[in-house]
Structure formats: C-alpha cells, structure tokens
Structure 1
Amino acid sequence: MTYKTITAVLSTADDAEKVTQHALALAERHGAHVIGVHAETPIVVTIAAPMEFPDPNAIMEQQAQAQAVSRSIETTFRTLAQRSGVSYEWRLFTGSAGYSASGIIDSARGSDIVVAVQLDPAGDGPSRADIEDLLYESGRPLCLISDAVAGPEAPSRVLIAWNGTRESARAVFDALPLLKEASEIEIFTVDGHDDATQHAAFSGTEIASTLTRHGLNVTVNSASSNGDTVAHVINRRVSATGANLLVMGAFSHSWLRHRLFGGVTSAMLKDLRVPAIMSR
C-alpha cells in the first residue's frame, strides 16, 4: 500500500508554500501525483436598505484582490512543483462554499490522502467548518500540517492516539504507508477502559500486534488524564517521545450531530504540535 494521488488544499497565500512542500515531499517518497486546489470565494454584497446600492468600484477592487491571491497561490504551487519534478496539476474553483465546494470535495475523494493546514483560530486560514467538510464529506484521510516548525521529511517517530474506536482504527490503516517509513511507533492510550474483548491494561496491544506483523517497531503505552484534558496529555506525549507525526481518529459524540467534533478532536485541531493524520 502506498499513496499515488495526493490533493493539496491551499487556502491562503501564507500557508500555500508549507502545504505544497509537505505534499511534494510525500509525493517524491511514494511516486505520487499531486493535485493543487484552491477555492476562490466570490464577493457577496449584502444590501441592507431598499435604496442602498453597493459601490461598483469597491466590489471590483475586492474581486481583484481575491483573484490576486489565487494567482499568488497558483504561482507558489507551480514553482515548487516544477522544481521538484513531481507529476502535478492545478485546479482553481470559485464558490461561496469554500472547502465544501463540489470541486474541492470531488478532488479529495479521488485521492489517497488530502494535505491541508490545521485549523486557524484567528480566522485568517481554514475554519473549523472547512476542516469538518474535508473530513466528513471527502471520506479520505486528512494530513493536517501544524503551525509549529516541522519539516516535510519522512516521519521517524509516530505517536498513535488510540481509543479503540472505528475512527482510530481507520486512521491507523490510512496512515500505514507513513508508518512503514518510521523507525519507532508508539500506541498511546489515555484513560483506557474495559470493554467486552479487552481489559483496560491491554488497550492497544491488539492493534500493536497487527502492525508488528507488517514489520513495524511498535510499543504500547498509556496514561491517565488525572483531571487534565486528553488533548494536553497527548500533546505532552508527542513532545516527550520526540514524535514528528500524530495519528488519530476524528470523532463526534453523537452521529445525530455528526458535524460537531468531539472535544478531543476539536482541541487537537487548534493545538497540533506536529503534522497529524486524521480519519473519519
């Protein structure tokens, strides 16, 4: 198993270079084709009063700014892609739906993995809704690039945040091509609990055995949150182990409100210390 088609979702001029570099580095290692995509949001004018008319010059200026951003992002992507020698293509979509635009979702669905930048709480980059759309609508694993200084090199140490759910299991196997590049992998459980098939003390051992059969070097560890948030415990473990990739499932508490992330996933999206593979 390997990645052969990678979609790089470029949201702003500021994140375009970093996301592109990660996508191209992954493509170089796996012999993959990279699709660079950007959703340009058209200018929407709201008229509050019956006799109020928008200034056409202001509208044209805003539209020109949006187009300039798109050209800047495209130039960054094409320049880096041409320099790398990787097979690539560029796609530009226009629509108010942002990441949920049909072109973005269709491109993602046809890929092995999607690369994007992490949630930006300041509002200048992708929003929570953007990330939700990619995870829930594309059906593909999402590689989120953190704001922390982290290069696009192959992962040497991987931390798998394991809770025994369907989502975490899918994330592990979606990340298998990257796991095979790592020299050390740790299955890490926070506040493990007993279930019908396994005692809490053995949480993660079965998936560890499966990965070992793939020839991977895997260890199992666990911790109690002791009143702290699970996200903080995971991030501390990432730092303590020197991991440069986090793998975890993205889940919600209720399928009836599937567009609302669970607390751990939401917290991690805001405070990633290293790139993360998330699957839904």
Structure 2
Amino acid sequence: MPFKTLLTVTGPDHGDDDLRLAAGLCEEIDAHLCVLVLLIAAPPSGGEYAAVVSPAWLAEREAEVEILERRSSVVSKMLSESPVSADLSSDYPEQSWADEIIGRRARYADLTVIGAEMLASRSLKEKVIAGGLFSSGRPILLVPKGARVTLKPKRVLVAWDASLEASRAVRESLGILSAANEVRIVMIDPIEDERHHGAEPGADVATYLSRHGVKVAVDRLPSSNHFVADVLRQHAIDTGAELIVMGAYGHSRLRERIFGGVTKSLIEEPGLPILMAR
C-alpha cells in the first residue's frame, strides 16, 4: 500500500528541520503532510490540591498555551509556503496522556516521520515513539542527523526474526520493498525449526516477497559475540542499504529498558533511516 499521508510532530523548542524533512518526503511521493504541534503541560508542583490553588502554576500553564499558539502560528506560515498539501493541529496534553494523543493522531496517517530534532528531544522523543508504535497501529520512520532519506530507496535491509512485529513491518513497507532494486532479508543466528525460522531460514519470507515482485536475497549472519544491533548496522553499511525495515519491541518495553535490546539500541543510535512497526 502506498503512503498517502505522513505525520510529523514538533515541539515549541524545535526548529523547522524536521518539518522540511517530512515535507520533502511528501513531495517525493505525492503525499499529504499532517503536522501536530505538541507541548506537554507543566505538572503542579505540590499535587492536585496545589493545582487548584497555586497562582504560579496557573500562570505557567497560561504562558505555555501562549508559547504553543506562537509555535503553531510559525508552523502554519511555513506550511502555507510549502508546495505540499498539509494540515496543522496542536495539543496541550498532560504527561500521562501525551503518547495516547499522539497515537490517536497517527492512526489517520500511513507513517509517522521522526527526524533528528525530535530524536534529540528529551521531553518529547519517548512520547512520540511510544505513541507511534503502541497507540496507532502504524509504522514510524526514524531519520538520524545527517542521514540521507528517501521513501524510494534502491537498496533495503529487512531485519527478519520471524516475529509478528517483523511480519507487520514487512507488510507495512511492501510498497517500498517492491519498488527497490535490492532487498536483503537479514537473519542473525537463525534457528532452524518450525517454531522459529523453519527448515530453511528465510525461505518462507523470501517466497512471500517474491510473489509481490520484490527482488530479494537472503543473508544468514552469525552474531559472533557481537550485539545484534551492531551486526545489523554494519551489514547495512557493507551492503549500501539506504533503509532498514524491522519489527519493534519483540520483547516488552520494560525488559528492553532494563536489559537492553535491538529496538532500544537502534532507537538510540539508528545510524541510517529505519522504518519500524509493531
């Protein structure tokens, strides 16, 4: 399915680089751009009672609303000068509701684009990624600083572990994969049994993709005591991949937060553009 609507989220302390990035991708594939301007509301300093009686807290909230309105005005002007079709919305959610608000908005887009400014944001990054992955049912695209990104890549690496999450990522990116010149299915230490990768690891997914016209090759790689994320990043570089496609959070977020994991590592250091789905 082609991407027809892209979403990007921006905060009041962000510049316009992420917006230009998303607009450029929309122009490349003739898609509509949705922009959500978001500011997470300041929490009361002394609990719920303080939220009712504290003039300082109320003044802070009023100031934040003004900041949000100014940022929305700046973004609106930029979008009006852009050649792409676009719409703008804003929200001022509490901390606990921010990812759900983002997820609801992302349900009406085909892809959420997360650029370098958002990836560097301490206040919004985690909420945007969590909302995009867990509350929308849609994929996200991570674009690190300095990376060249296109939604018409010639060479794509698919990180395949036979999981439901990886299957969703492949399904969501079929339009990209079928148009590429080369798609490499990469498995790290694949297990040869019916509960995992089957008798011939990679054969089933390669056959599925070939029926969609994907020019596919299969790479079975040993981890050799290296982290899986590092092996994937290096193989992407070695094969000249312009995009990595992968499932996200095959383990729980809590487990990844405590012990680490492939998703967590690649979110922290993408290296190159990554399309993730869950």
TM over 0.5, shorter chain:
yes
In the other structure, the counterpart of 1:39 is: 38
Query: Are residue 24 (structure 1) and residue 23 (structure 2) matched?
Result: yes
Give the SS at the match of 2:161: coil
SS at match of 2:135: helix
Name the residue aligned to 1:169. 167
RMSD of aligned residue pairs (Cα, Å): 3.3
Say if 1:95 and 1:101, in contact at 8 Å, map to a contact too: no
**Whole-Å separation in 1 of the counterparts to 2:255 and 2:133:** 11
Give the C-alpha shift of residue 61 in structure 1: 6.4
Secondary structure, counterpart of 2:212 in structure 1: coil
Superposition deviation, residue 232 in structure 1: 0.6
Per the normalisation by structure 2, the TM-score is 0.82
**Per the alignment, in what secondary structure is the counterpart of residue 6 of structure 1?**
strand
Map of 2:251 onto structure 1: 253
Q: Structure 1 residue 271 and structure 2 residue 230: aligned?
A: no
The alpha carbon displacement at 1:65 in A equals 6.1
CA contact (8 A) 2:37 2:71 kept: no
Partner of 1:2: 2
Change (3 A) 1:105 1:46: same
The CA deviation at 1:226 is 1.3
Q: CA shift at 1:132, angstroms?
A: 2.1
Q: How far, CA to CA, are the matches of 1:223 and 1:201 in structure 2?
A: 16
Identity of aligned residues (%): 28
Instruction: List alignment gaps of at least 5 residues for structure 2.
Output: none
Alignment deviations for residues 55-101 of structure 1 (CA, whole Å, 9 cap, x no partner): 73x9746853674366346524641x444421110000011236424
Q: CA deviation at 1:183?
A: 2.0
Secondary structure class of the residue paired with 2:236: helix
Amino acid of the structure 1 residue aligned with 2:2: T
Give how far 1:270 is off: 0.3
What amino acid does structure 2 have at the position aligned with 1:39? L
CA contact (8 A) 2:155 2:241 kept: yes
1:203-236 per-position Cα deviation (integer Å, ceiling 9, x unaligned): 2222222222222222111211111110111111
Cα distance in 1 between the residues matched to 2:117 and 2:207: 33
- 1:12-41: per-residue Cα shift (whole Å, max 9, x none)? 644x53332332233223332211002212
After superposition, the Cα gap between the structure-2 partners of 1:127 and 1:29, relative to the gap in structure 1 and judged at 3 Å, is closer
**TM-superposed deviation, 1:150:** 2.2
Q: Spell out structure 1 runs of 4+ moving beyond 4 A.
A: 58-63, 118-123, 197-201, 257-262
Task: Give the 3-state SS of the residue equivalent to 2:21 in structure 1.
Answer: helix
Instruction: Indicate whether 1:138 and 2:125 are aligned.
Output: no
- Shift of the alpha carbon at 1:128? 3.3
Offset, 1:193: 0.7
- The 5 Å alignment of 1:67-146 reads 67-68=66-67, 71-72=70-71, 75-76=74-75, 78-79=77-78, 81-97=79-95, 99-102=98-101, 104-117=102-115, 124=122, 126-146=124-144
Displacement of 1:111 in angstroms is: 1.6
Deviation at 1:253, TM superposition (A): 2.4
In 2, the alpha carbon distance for the partners of 1:78 and 1:152 equals 25
Q: Conserved in 1, the CA contact under 8 Å of 2:8 and 2:22?
A: yes
In 2, Cα distance between equivalents of 1:119 and 1:19: 6
In the comparison of the two structures, how many residue pairs are matched?
Answer: 273
Code of the residue aligned with 2:67 in structure 1: it is A
SS of aligned partner of 1:138: coil
Paired residue for 1:230?
228
1:196 is aligned with what amino acid? E
Q: Determine the C-alpha separation between the residues in 2 that align with 1:120 and 1:22.
A: 12
Q: Secondary structure at the match of 2:89?
A: strand
Q: CA deviation at 1:161?
A: 0.6
Specify every segment of 5 or more residues in structure 1 that has no aligned partner in the other structure, as ranges.
Answer: none
